[in-house]
Structure 1
Amino acid sequence: MLEDLTRAIYAGRYQPGDFLPTVRDLADEYGISPSTGRQAVNELQRMGLAYSGYVNGKRGVIVRSRGRTDFHATDALRPGRAGSGTDAFTENARKTHRVPAKRFTMVMRVPPAHVARRLGLPADTIVVERTTLQLLDGEPWSRERSWYAPDLAAKTGLDSPHDIEEGTIRRLAEQGFRETAHRDEVTDAAANEEDSADLGVILGAPLLVQTRTAATDTRVTRVTQTVRLGGRNRLIWETGNEEGIDAIRRQLAEGSKLADTVDDEAPTDGYRESTEGSEL
């Protein structure tokens, strides 16, 4: 049964966004127990081929799009970044021809110990916690959570219970807190209950966790932790001047055209119109 469902997904019988048969329907069709059907569905989710979620108000197990999505992790930090009314996630999504959406929440609470330590605050300090669940083409894709010291949040309006469409980096800069340094830590993790609910994955599914600590010349401004689906994303860091970065992008684009193929494991620029964007 698992092999049948996997082949059906790859053959296009089930398209991204389609519901898979329910566990009960699978049990009836294959003459198996519901628990065996559930195991097969869980394995499809573990493989990254499906997720639990909603489409048009109906809940079920839904086929995911395939391929990796490029995310240029340094784009939001580039000094020459053009003014825009959208944040880095939205900008990156559109470059890869995906439709972005977000669900935002803000609370004030005591942060995890490692966050308080990075912010230089006592462990019991209540901070502003801003969380955005990020979706691509309706699929839950990543969760970005940032923590801010209460004094900084009050000065910059980050204690508002609303999403900031232009992005918090621009908001901080506008209010006199231009970030000049960033430290990124990337590791893997297994999905916990919150991850499972937010991203539609099973417990223990592989995740990629990026923790960024940002600062001005004089103080830490924020700690941001982004949780992404393991095996579904490719993080790209670009450093140097604009001319050099553009030269690298042009060469990658030209190399891909000459090869006339799409290699899911090879680096891609995520900026051009190409067959890659349609696959992601």
Structure 2
Amino acid sequence: MAARHVEIAEDLLAGIENGRYPPGGHLPTEDALMVHYATSRNTVRRALERLANLGRIDTRQGSGSQVREYKPITHLASSIKGAADDERWSEYAARLREKQEGVPHQTLKVGFEAATGMIARLLDLNPSETEGFVVIRRCDRVVDGKLWERQISYYPEDIAVGTELMRPEDIKRGTITVLAELGYEQTGSWDVVGARMPSPKDSALFGLGPGVPLLVHERAAFAGIRPIRFTKTFIPADRHQLLYAEGEISPDLLKSASDVNIFDH
């Protein structure tokens, strides 16, 4: 048999999911919950703490417990018609403005360092050789002062050095186009997407509340069998949904998917 505070938390969670306690609304006060469940204040507080740790409510002293409202914006993660990550961000930013979720902007930094570990393996580089270096483009995408997404791309030195990939500025025509112009036309890629709970540093960096995981999207791109780029994107799960689409998909069909909210019940 479950502990009493777990039973209460599960009952309140059912009320959240069936709409009895809608997003943005408040749960009953601690006193009301004590009466309703015929239990102690400590048990009620443990139940509310459990819901907060699940990311379903925000509890503040003096203002009660509010049901957390999630309004993620859908991010097209697949390469429809060869669109690059930075091109798809432009579409995502436009949707943010359309939904009045904030004013997005991005900052870019470029670095150069020896490839080690996983990066060296994925880009088929030997760290002991002089050519075992990578150009790193780090892009922080910010909305109303809050870090929304961090994307880090790694390019082999012999491909990127001396090109516009070394400049810390947005490339309007997209990095896939730049690589093709350099003789490395992307012919394929693979993606791995996973979720992990954030470290305290991650939580502070992205402004994450309790119970919110961090999505990590990794992509390796190839020209034939030659690895030409590896990208890691860090995405707070309460603000993003990843949309994958294949084949001939019209903009209207993509828009219908963009209106889906996985937090709706």
With the shorter chain as reference, the TM-score category is 0.5 to 0.7
Q: What corresponds to 1:214 in structure 2?
A: 221
Q: Partners in 1 of 2:116 and 2:105 — Cα distance?
A: 27
Among residues 106, 115, 130, which one is paired with 1:102 in the alignment? 106
Q: What corresponds to 1:73 in structure 2?
A: 77
Q: Partners in 2 of 1:246 and 1:172 — Cα distance?
A: 27
Q: Partners in 2 of 1:113 and 1:202 — Cα distance?
A: 32
Q: Deviations over 1:243-277 (max 9, x none)?
A: xx128807x74x99xxxxx762289xxxxxxxxxx
Q: What corresponds to 2:134 in structure 1?
A: 127
Gaps of 5+ in 1: 1-6, 13-39, 51-63, 257-261, 268-280
Normalising by the residue count of structure 2, what TM-score does the alignment of the two structures yield? Answer: 0.63
- The change in CA–CA distance for 1:48 and 1:224 in structure 2 (over 3 A counts) is farther
Q: Partners in 2 of 1:117 and 1:229 — Cα distance?
A: 27
- SS state of the match for residue 78, structure 1? helix
- SS state of the match for residue 165, structure 2? coil
Q: Which has the larger radius of gyration?
A: 2
- SS state of the match for residue 169, structure 1? helix
- SS state of the match for residue 10, structure 1? coil
Query: Does the alignment pair 1:10 with 2:24?
Result: yes
- The change in CA–CA distance for 1:193 and 1:265 in structure 2 (over 3 A counts) is closer
Matched residue type, 1:88? R
Among residues 185, 188, 198, which one is paired with 2:192 in the alignment? 185
- The change in CA–CA distance for 1:149 and 1:166 in structure 2 (over 3 A counts) is same
Identity across matched positions, percent: 28
Q: Partners in 2 of 1:213 and 1:105 — Cα distance?
A: 20
TM-aligned CA deviation for residue 178 of structure 1: 1.7
Q: Partners in 1 of 2:152 and 2:229 — Cα distance?
A: 10
Q: What corresponds to 1:265 in structure 2?
A: 262
Q: What corresponds to 1:93 in structure 2?
A: 93
Q: What corresponds to 1:29 in structure 2?
A: none
- The change in CA–CA distance for 1:74 and 1:263 in structure 2 (over 3 A counts) is closer
Among residues 31, 35, 47, which one is paired with 2:55 in the alignment? 47
**Pairwise CA RMSD of aligned residues?**
4.0
Q: Partners in 1 of 2:207 and 2:177 — Cα distance?
A: 31
- The change in CA–CA distance for 1:152 and 1:197 in structure 2 (over 3 A counts) is farther
Matched residue type, 2:24? Y
- The change in CA–CA distance for 1:167 and 1:137 in structure 2 (over 3 A counts) is farther
Among residues 125, 146, 154, which one is paired with 1:139 in the alignment? 146
Gaps of 5+ in 2: 1-20, 27-48, 59-67
Q: Is the 8 A contact 1:156 1:172 kept in 2?
A: no
Among residues 167, 174, 179, which one is paired with 2:181 in the alignment? 174
Q: Partners in 1 of 2:247 and 2:52 — Cα distance?
A: 41
Name the count of aligned residue pairs. Answer: 208
- The change in CA–CA distance for 1:116 and 1:174 in structure 2 (over 3 A counts) is same
